[in-house]
Structure 1
């Protein structure tokens, strides 16, 4: 009898534990979703203004104050999607242009973790912005490589593919840019270059000649509305056009195609705002040094490889500084 009572007691305890666990699961499952509240405040306006002032001015040195203000604005209202997005970009900019620092600390990689956090929040609060998965996928891909986490690497890679399907005019570049850092003989690097060509095709509305690209006839298509608005310069990215062709030319140079790279670089000079682009001297130097740069990329040891836009001191500002 005593043994049976003990048995039933254990059954009761186990039943209670399972029911409690079930309640926990249900409580979590049916918790209210975090929803957006974009209501501006004086602090959020100050933080946003400082972010754009720093980015458009190329003031990397102001990032600590930018991050401080944006973090304060986020904590004031963690449901503001724009603040979450800008805070993600502030952390991404910090790690992307880290070569500006005289001494790059090991903890610089923590900014990628924080960028992932706030891009995730921004996407959660504004799921209709199809640009965000492109940025988030790229950050996840980078984090997977930093931490040697193959699952996270694959998650980021396939998120980029989903992002391309949702908004190819924007996310073909997002994917191609991230993959430009791969070794030139890596299939993913070639895939990234294909993404860049696909991006050009979509912006032009037809297939661009891969050996003799001529973009002059498409300049009349410039627009500030619709999906193709991201193919051109804008208030947010005053030199988006020039930066795109600087990066693509770098990728072609790395791929051992200096002649085609030169033609792609030259397209950047067609921009109406080319004369005011802070990085035009970099592009012009690449045009005059095409053959030597291409030869350096052929070295098996990557140490002498020339700089490309990705991971440079102008990884973000080549498009955004004015």
Structure 2
């Protein structure tokens, strides 16, 4: 489908990487997150309820808020997130407008470039900006822009590894399983584990049982668990990481990572537990083989994209839609 390929080339949504409106990395994501612009608060109300039918309305409202308050850094950032939600989950729209979505997707690079100017010290913006630079550069065959994207992502990793290593995984996860660089997506997930828990990961058994008492919604390690902005960030991350491992052919390790999601305290309330059940009940060896055959079109989507919820499978506290 032309719309899908063009849109996803420009708008790569991240589950764990979607962030709150606060521009201070030490405060963002707490519950409650503090005073917010009304348009930002309204967006998060519906984003957390997975009301995708309202995504375009929120993106437009934040366009207006940004125009009215051009120096407001948080509004600028969340404006980009709102557009990415609308574009990234377009498969949920019963009548997607292909040309309009393509235009909206192409604007993402400019939106996050502006957001970075207005939030220069916010490492989260590097994640989104780097991915947009990378995807745009790949789409238009601009190697300089691709390299700029990698550099931006690495800056984010240096500033906040617990958050931005996930973004690094996203930079490589679309490569064929046979591509040597695909391993960088899996390596970044293991690096996330090590950044979060401060220990070398057992690459054959990356169980999290002994770390459960470290769960927090404050400080840099909040990106390792769940908080107000991402009520099921941890469950979504382990689902995604497990998918990366299946794609690599590491099915036994993937099962361990998938089951990590069930250890997270908030797991019983996760609206998208069925995604994990689908994996654990599937023939994962057969699924892994699909990534290695000669037909890239039959590769199973990763994470929440398998259900059209590329962002809300981590960020929705309820699933109203």
| TM-score bucket of the superposed structures, by smaller chain | 0.7 to 0.9
**CA shift at 1:63, angstroms?**
1.2
Residue in structure 1 matching 2:256, options 260, 263, 285: 263
Q: TM-score, normalised by structure 2?
A: 0.83
Task: Note if 1:250 corresponds to 2:243.
Answer: yes
**CA shift at 1:85, angstroms?**
0.5
Any idea what SS the aligned residue of 2:59 has?
A: helix
Structure 2 partner of 1:48: 40
Task: Note if 1:177 corresponds to 2:178.
Answer: no
Any idea what SS the aligned residue of 1:213 has?
A: coil
Any idea what SS the aligned residue of 2:263 has?
A: coil
Q: Which runs of 4+ in 1 moved over 6 A?
A: none
User: What does residue range 59-208 of structure 1 map to in structure 2 within 5 Å?
Assistant: 59-102=51-94, 104=96, 105-208=98-201
Structure ranking higher on relative contact order (CA contacts 8 Å, 6+ apart): 2
d(CA) in 2 for partners of 1:160, 1:287:
32
Task: Note if 1:320 corresponds to 2:315.
Answer: yes
Any idea what SS the aligned residue of 1:207 has?
A: coil
Structure 2 partner of 1:298: 292
d(CA) in 2 for partners of 1:134, 1:230:
13
| 2:216–2:226 contact (8 Å) kept in structure 1 | no
| 1:141–1:155 contact (8 Å) kept in structure 2 | yes
Give CA-to-partner distance per residue, 1:228-270, whole Å, 9 cap, x none: 1111100000000001101101110111111111110000011
Report the more deviating stretch, 94-103 or 161-170: 94-103
Give CA-to-partner distance per residue, 1:132-152, whole Å, 9 cap, x none: 111110111111122222221
**CA shift at 1:295, angstroms?**
2.4
Paired residues in the alignment total: 280
Larger radius of gyration between Structure 1 and Structure 2: 1
Structure 2 partner of 1:30: none
Structure 1: unaligned runs, 5 residues or longer: 1-35, 37-43
**CA shift at 1:106, angstroms?**
4.1
| 1:241–1:268 contact (8 Å) kept in structure 2 | yes
Structure 1 partner of 2:15: none
CA RMSD in angstroms comes to 1.8
Give CA-to-partner distance per residue, 1:40-59, whole Å, 9 cap, x none: xxxx7331122101210111
| 1:89–1:115 contact (8 Å) kept in structure 2 | no
d(CA) in 1 for partners of 2:185, 2:203:
15
d(CA) in 1 for partners of 2:104, 2:141:
17
Any idea what SS the aligned residue of 1:303 has?
A: helix
| 1:177–1:310 contact (8 Å) kept in structure 2 | no
| 2:176–2:291 contact (8 Å) kept in structure 1 | no
Structure 2 partner of 1:307: 301
d(CA) in 1 for partners of 2:68, 2:155:
33
| Structure-2 change in CA distance of 1:111 and 1:310 (3 Å) | farther
d(CA) in 2 for partners of 1:187, 1:166:
27
